[in-house]
Structure 1
Amino acid sequence: MLRNYLKVALRNLLKNKVYSFINIGGLAVGMAVAILIGLWIWDEITYNTYHQNYERIVQVMQHNLYNGKRETQTSNPYVMAEEIRSKYGSSFTYVLQSSWTSGHVLTYGEKKATKTGNYFEPQVTEMLSLNMLKGTRTGLKEPHSILLSESIAQIYFGNEDPIGKIMRIDNNTDVKVTGVYEDLPYNSDFREMTYILPWELYLIMNPWIKKMEDPWDSNFTQTFAQMAANTDIEKVSAQIKNVKFNRVSSFDRKYKPEVFLHPMTKWRLYSDWKDGVNAGGRIENVWLFSIIGIFVLLLACINFMNLATARSEKRAKEVGIRKTVGSIRGQLIAQFFSESLLVVMFGFLTAIFLVQLSLPFFNEVADKKMSVPYLSPVFWLLGLSFSVVTGLIAGSYPALYLSSFQPVKVLKGTFRVGRYAALPRRILVVMQFAVSVTLIIGTIVVFRQIQHAKDRPIGYDRNGLISMLLTTPDIHNHLEAVRNELKSSGAIVDMTESTSPTTSVWNTNGGFDWKGKDPELAVDFPNNGVTHDYGKTVGWQFKEGRDFSREYATDSMAFVINEAAVKFLGFEHPIGETVKWNNKPYTIVGVIKNMVVQSPYQPIRAAFFHISKEQESVVIIKLNPKLSARDALSKVEAVFKKYSPATPFEYKFVDEEYAQKFGDEERIGTLAAVFAGLAILISCLGIFGLSSFVAEQRTKEIGIRKVLGASVLNLWSLLSKDFVRLVFVSFLFAIPTAWYFMNQWLQKYEYRTEISWWVFVVTGLGALLITLLTISFQSLKAAFANPVKSLRSE
């Protein structure tokens, strides 16, 4: 019986090639989208699961009251781990201190490059369950040792055994390779940790740390932990709540530090905080794309149902004959479900091909490294189950509808589908275009929000700016010589050192006091140490006062502040006002326009700049616009090599770093645009199939009208107006839906665009135009047909 069902189904597919193509093509595209989104969601929800202790690893974080708001941070005092171990050790298997993942120059022989890694306490190999390929898991117990990832070991040593080899860090410290571990996967928060150095070495290389008067006063490291078996994260988090509050000075208690544990299971999807409360994060994108995947697949199923029911009159006699010769309704339902499942299976195989074809592009856009798990039985089981469910959904309405025909009426020729028979099809078409139009409106709003943020004044000139990390003291020790030589060569406009890059904040400070300040107000501001030439290098835009100058010795105790700081301090005339920092008086000499340093979607923070007397983290250079970037950089490289021959010349363009701030939103927008386009494609396939059927159904009517003098335009209008009405109705449903969801999405941005009326108009006109273009082919084909041929059978 099943064999017969499949044979009949295959014959029907081959007999109606256009409808088969539309059905299989539409389902294939819909299923391909669903599979891609499924792979993306799986990658997101399995983030960090490479680590065997995934469910018990936590990060120690803290809430603090800064500037009147509850802020959440991942940085801790360097003594945090030891304090928790000593007082709450029974609740943890490991509590480990770590540096931030940062770049250091690794040198072996003639090979040298800046690679990213961490300083970590020795038990990191166990906590992160690193797969050691060579060497020992306890290699970090030696202060001057290093563990390399497999890829880094391959770069530096090739097929040579790296164990025991000596490498140099930042051209000033030798370390011995004691182990090689398997590269961490791309969906791990530690993926950029390409080497690990001992925490003890970090303290040795930074002797100022142990000389700090109050080790609890500064937050500059990270703390990770693994919970002991049978411990409750929430309960332990409550126990350690005051671990920092009990150790800080009475002054720092104003910040009301509250320590808590954030589990690894939530790092990826629940990383946003607002007023000390978790506000979600990427989980919103997971839900968003889940809904999009379901709806795109639903559109493909709607196509199948529409085309199957539209052709019901052609299948009516088949149903009548089958029932007459003894087929029961259950057998007919099985027949139609068999056809549906066959179409879906063809669609699934085509979808796998489409997924494989589009995966490189999808990975690039989504910033992923996913692959189709062909060798996984679970994937095929899910794929087949998914296909069966899709087949049942897509074939449910046709099977139940067609199998209900009465054989007597059908075979007598008195069967009529009725005036309301097309109503379900119209409802489904309205659903299709409502979903498609909603996706298009959403995509436009996302890109408008991105462009709105990109058009925001950033307060400095990022064109021609490059930044370089200072991993060795060579350039700092000869800063003026390097600057003068580069300016003389014409390669640069100016050059400066800075605590932080122009695109992020690496340093904040408290301890500020000023006239009129509330004594109970705890503050923390970005406080950037710079050289005198910082303003000229980045192109500060002054509102009041002046820039730092070597002509004024007093500028060593001066501040340049931004507009946000003026507003926060409450100064009506800030120039000449005094602000105390750690009880030392600083005079405000200049006010600059707000610089967009952190998120372009958030308000600008109050920021301070002062002259630094120490080596800072970053060199910022303004290239000469009169030279090509290539020529200017070659001159800069030559001078840098002269003064720091052992350091690789590596730099980043500031405008490219700034562009990365829009990465997440641009990925969402691009993916949404692709999915919206595919949704429209699927909807148009359905419209094309339906218009083809309607034109075929009304062939004789069109012939008669043409004989009676109807023009091509009249006939085109006759065949098009019903579909235009449906699109208009779908638009009425899409407008409020799109406005509601996109307005909710925009609320998470402080600096956001408005949803303009023209977005809906443009989308509506676009949807209407696409619909007319889709149906015009069949409409005009029918209108231009020879009426003699249409009426010959009469």
Structure 2
Amino acid sequence: MIKNYIKIAWRNLLKSKYYSVVNIAGLTLGLAIGMLILLWVQDEVSFNKFHSKANTIYRVNSFLGTGQSRRIWNTTQGSIAPYALKEVPGIRAAVRITSNSGNIYNYKDKQLKEDNAAYTDPSFFKMFDFKLLAGDRNDPFPNDQSVIITQSTARKYFGDEDPMGKVLQENHKDNYTVSGVIADFPDNSSINYNMLFSMNICAKWYTGKDFWKSLDTDWGNFGYTTYLDIQPGTNLKQVGEKLLLIQMKNAPHIKVNVKENAYQLQNISNIHLYAADGSSTGMQTVRIFLMVGIITLLIACINYVNLSTARSMLRAKEVSIRKIVGAQKQQLFIQFIVESVVFFCLSLVFAFLLMAILLPYYNLISGKHLHLDLMDLRLWKVVGITFVGTLIVSSIYPSLLLSSFEPLKALKGKLSLGIVNASFRKVLVVTQFTFSVLLIIITLVIGRQLKYIREKDPGYDRSQVFSFRVGQMRSHLDAVMAELRSQPGIIAVSTSDNRLVNNGHTTGGVDWDGKDVNTMFVIHHFGMDEKFIPMMKMKMLAGHNFTGTKADSTHFILNETAVAMTGIKNPIGKRFKYQETEGTIIGVVKDFNAASFKERIEPAVIYYEPAGNSLYVKTTGKNAATAIAVAGRQWDKYNPGFPFEYTFMDEEYDNLYRTDQRSGLLFNIFSVIAIVISCLGLFGLATYTAQLMTKEIGIRKVLGASVSGIISLVSRDFLKLVLFAIVLASPIAWWAVNKWLQSFVYKVDVNVWVFVLAGIIAIGIALITISFQTIKAAVANPVKSLRNE
């Protein structure tokens, strides 16, 4: 019986080629894009959940500072972990991780720079489920000169040789022996490094003569990511409170406000999609993409339902004859369900082929490494949910409708499906275009916002400026800078101690007259020479810039926000202390943004540093290559054996928004495809409508109707539905885009013209879609139309 149903379905598919192509094309696009989106969503929500202890591992986040200067870090001091283990009940294990990047490693003739390395504790390999392929999990670092590398890193340096016991030289001086090989970190892991070194190396940096005597007692450096394995049932809030009390006891000179300051714990399963402050920016993006995926599938389903119900009149006689010869309603229902399954199976095959073609480009745009592995159960889970859900939504109603005809009326040509069926199709068309208009509006707003944050003035001129680390040329900076300035393609050269873009350096070690002794004020700090501010065209609002004299060693420049938040009135000449340096404020600079425009501009202090860690070079643009070559020669002269690396500030700035740009591009692509699927359905429906109206159009033309009148007649009802969809979609879109914009501190206004433009685009798309069939019907020879009827 089923075999017979499949055979009939196949014949109907071949008989109605146009209908079949439109339906299969829509379903194929819908299934392919829907599954790609769902695979992306599945990957995003799976981050860090592969650890067996995922439910009990927490990252410690630091909420320190008071008032408007309150800062939230996803890192802590290196001293938190040992104290937590000793003094906080319920802590079973602790792991610290801190970055070790930018070093050069040699093995024989191989010399490579490594920007993705870290120092960690031995407990790293017990807390997390990363697979150690070689080495001892209980003693991963036999000594402080040990290193554990990933499989990929091992192949990069040693090829097919056994890496165990091999020696890598760091920066041409320190030797590290490979004591273990770890499997490459999964793509869905927030922890991902190529090399791991012992935390004892960091401990040796402390001489005992500095302010902070050791790593385990340093409460000032928030450069460590700390993970705690906590006994189930432990009160997490109390753990955070105890950690703060430990800091207050061991570092009483760091003033904290118990009501505002805290250490808060965040489960490792949430850290990818939720920020340290609990904001759900990442999760919000996942929800938006999930919505687009579901909308795409629903639009494809609506196409199928619309075309199936629209063609029901053409199949009425077929169904009636089957009923007369004894077919039961249940059998007919099953037949049409099988027909839907055949359509979906064909569409699924084409969808897999389309996914295989699109996946490399999809990964390139999304920055992921998704694979179409037909043996992967996770893939079939997505396929199963998509296939079954879509099939149920799109096949039940058409099957019920087609199996419910009254045979005698159908054979006499008196069958009318009535107002209910026509109204149902109108509801579906309105729903479909409501989704389309919603996507158009969201696409327009996302595009405007991303353009706005890309082009908004950050308070400095970053164009044609590149920077590089000085390395060993630091003691020869005057000669290097003089050589660079003598080049015709170089406009200016300056030095800075900290990065201007994405600067994460903050301190609470500041003081001024009138400061509340019980508050902790957190401020960004930048070291610059006297050339930096004019080179970057940063605007001085009061006072003056550094002069390049020795007196500048006790001079400070604040930004507007710092002046406002400290409450210093008439700041020029007022006392200001930065860490151990007492000095005076000599200037106020206009606010500049050192982070992305998702964050509010924060207070900043600029101190004089004539021999910073980085050189900034501004070029004419046309001569940028020459300037880079000159800088490279100077680098090679003082840093032989180390590769010359530089970055343009525009690139650094764009990197702040790379994730948003990728998400925006993907959203645009998915929205366009969803709208194309809508157009396929509307095109098929317009074709069917024109076929049904062939006789009416012929009579009207014989009676003198014009071509424009006929086009208006056929198009009018569709355009009414589109207009209604615009009205429905607008308030929903307004709510959605305002919700998305909440993650940006600086954002565009959602103006009325966005909705008007989206409406015009939707109407234009609908007109273009239906115009081909309406014009074809309007210009057809009426004699031929009437003869065929």
Q: Which amino acid aligns with 1:457?
A: D
Secondary structure of 2:453's aligned partner: helix
- Out of 762, 786, 789, the residue aligned to residue 784 of structure 2 is 789
What's the counterpart of residue 104 of structure 1? 103
Cα distance in 1, alignment partners of residues 683 and 524 from structure 2: 59
Gaps of 5+ in 1: none
Contact kept in structure 2, 1:575 and 1:588, CA below 8 Å = yes
Deviation at 1:174, TM superposition (A): 2.2
Matched, 1:752 2:756: no
Structure 1 residue 430 displacement after superposition: 0.4
Whole-angstrom CA distance in 2 between matches of 1:704 and 1:238: 82
Deviations 1:678-728 (A, max 9, x none): 111111111100110011111111111112222211111111111111111
Equivalent of 1:772, from 742, 767, 770? 767
8 A contact 1:112–1:648 mirrored in 2: no
Match of 1:548 in 2: 546
Name the counterpart of 2:628. Answer: 633
Q: 1:736 to 1:41 in 2, by over 3 A?
A: same
1:761 aligned partner: 756
Question: What is the CA–CA distance in structure 1 between the aligned matches of 2:55 and 2:366, rounded to whole Å?
Answer: 26
TM alignment of 1:461-476, pairs within 5 A: 461-469=461-469, 472=471, 474-476=472-474
Higher mean displacement: 699-708 or 102-111: 102-111
Residue range with higher mean Cα deviation, 136-145 or 400-409 = 136-145
Deviation of 1:268 after TM superposition, in Å, equals: 0.8
Q: How far is 1:627 from its partner? A: 5.0
| In the alignment, structure 1 residue 513 sits paired with structure 2 residue 508 | no
Q: Please report how far the alpha carbon of residue 289 of structure 1 lies from its aligned counterpart in structure 2 after TM superposition.
A: 1.4
2:421 counterpart SS class: coil
| Residues 518-529 of structure 1: pairs in structure 2 closer than 5 A | 518-529=516-527
Gap change, CA 1:136 and 1:476, over 3 Å in 2: farther
Q: Which residue type is aligned with residue 273 of structure 2?
A: L
C-alpha distance in 1 between matches for 2:777 and 2:512 = 82
Aligned counterpart, 1:706 = 701
1:54 lines up with 2:58 in the alignment: no
Task: Within 5 Å, give how 1:386-401 maps onto structure 2.
Answer: 386-401=386-401
Contact kept? 1:163, 1:178, Cα under 8 Å: yes
- 1:477 corresponds in structure 2 to 475
**How many equivalent pairs are there?**
783
1:655-681 per-position Cα deviation (integer Å, ceiling 9, x unaligned): 111011222222222122112111111
Q: CA RMSD in A?
A: 2.4
Determine which of 575, 579, 589 is the counterpart of 2:576: 579
Bigger mean CA offset, 234-243 vs 619-628: 234-243
Equivalent residue for 1:533? 531
Distance (whole Å) between structure 1 residues aligned to residue 500 and residue 737 of structure 2: 31
Query: Which residue pairs with 1:259 in the alignment?
Result: 263
Q: Report if aligned partners of 2:62, 2:74 keep a CA contact under 8 Å in 1.
A: yes
2:456 alignment partner AA: R
- Aligned residue for 2:256, secondary structure, equals helix
Any conservation in 2 of the 1:491–1:633 contact (CA below 8 Å)? no
* Cα 1:228–1:66 shift into 2, 3 Å: closer
Contact 1:168–1:174 (Cα < 8 Å) also in 2: yes
1:348-359 paired onto structure 2 within 5 Å: 348-359=348-359
Report the AA paired with residue 219 of structure 1.
N
TM-score, structure 1 normalization:
0.94
1:285-325 residue CA offsets vs partner (Å, 9 max, x unmatched): 22221122111101111111111111111111122222222
Give the match's secondary structure for 2:576: strand
The alpha carbon displacement at 1:520 in A equals 3.6
Secondary structure of 2:738 counterpart:
helix
Q: Report the equivalent of 1:643.
A: 638
Which residue does the alignment assign to 2:672? 677
CA shift in 2, pair 1:112/1:623, >3 Å? farther
Please show how residues 307-456 of structure 1 align to structure 2 within 5 Å. 307-380=307-380, 382-384=382-384, 386-456=386-456
Measure the CA separation in 1 of the matches of 2:141 and 2:287.
41
Matched, 1:268 2:268: no
Q: Which amino acid aligns with 1:102?
A: S
Deviation at 1:595, TM superposition (A): 1.4
For residues 342 and 304 of structure 2, the distance between their equivalents in structure 1, rounded to whole angstroms, comes to 12
| 2:117 maps to amino acid | G
Report the Cα distance in structure 1 between the residues aligned to 2:734 and 2:585, rounded to whole angstroms: 46
Whole-Å Cα distance in 1 between the matches of residues 283 and 211 of structure 2?
43
- Give the alignment of 1:62-461 within 5 angstroms: 62-68=62-68, 70-88=70-88, 91-100=90-99, 102-115=101-114, 116-137=116-137, 138-191=139-192, 193-205=193-205, 207=207, 212=212, 215-227=217-229, 230=232, 232=234, 234=236, 237=239, 240-256=242-258, 257-273=261-277, 278-380=278-380, 382-384=382-384, 386-461=386-461
Which residue matches 2:591? 594
* Cα deviation, residue 235, structure 1: 6.9
Per-residue Cα deviation, 1:131-188 (whole angstroms, up to 9, x for no partner): 2334444342311121122222222222233332322223442222222222212221
In structure 2, relative to structure 1, the CA distance for the partners of 1:490 and 1:169 (3 Å cut) is farther
User: Residues 422 and 671 from structure 1, CA distance in 2 versus in 1: closer, same or farther, beyond 3 angstroms?
Assistant: same
Range moving further from structure 2, 54-63 or 226-235: 226-235
Per-residue deviation, residues 483-507 of structure 1 (Å, max 9, x unmatched): 2222234464444443321112232
Could you tell me how far 1:240 is from its partner in structure 2? Answer: 3.6
| Identity score, percent | 34
Equivalent residue for 1:694, pick from 689, 693, 705: 689
1:255–1:549 CA distance, 2 compared to 1 (3 A): farther
User: How far apart, CA to CA, are the structure 2 residues paired with 1:727 and 1:689?
Assistant: 16
Give the Cα–Cα distance (whole angstroms) in 1 for the partners of residues 24 and 244 of structure 2: 62
Query: 1:201 Cα shift?
Result: 1.5
1:235–1:421 CA distance, 2 compared to 1 (3 A): closer
Deviation at 1:130, TM superposition (A): 3.0
Structure 2 residue identity aligned to 1:611: Y
Which piece of structure 1 moves more, 204-213 or 652-661?
A: 204-213
Q: Aligned AA for 2:221? A: N
Aligned to 1:557: 554
Residue 529 of structure 1, CA deviation: 2.3
**Aligned-partner SS, 1:247:** helix
Residue 568 of structure 1: CA displacement? 2.1
Task: State the partner residue of 1:722.
Answer: 717
Residue range with higher mean Cα deviation, 590-599 or 168-177: 168-177
Amino acid paired to 1:104: N
Q: Which amino acid aligns with 1:706?
A: K
Corresponding residue SS for 1:59: strand
Aligned to 1:265, what secondary structure does the other structure show?
Answer: coil
Which amino acid in 1 is paired with 2:143? E
For residue 206 of structure 1, report the CA deviation from its aligned partner.
5.3
Deviates more, 1:220-229 or 1:135-144: 220-229
What TM-score do the two structures reach when normalised by structure 2? Answer: 0.94
SS in 2 for 1:596: coil
Matched-pair contact (CA < 8 Å) for 2:69–2:602: no
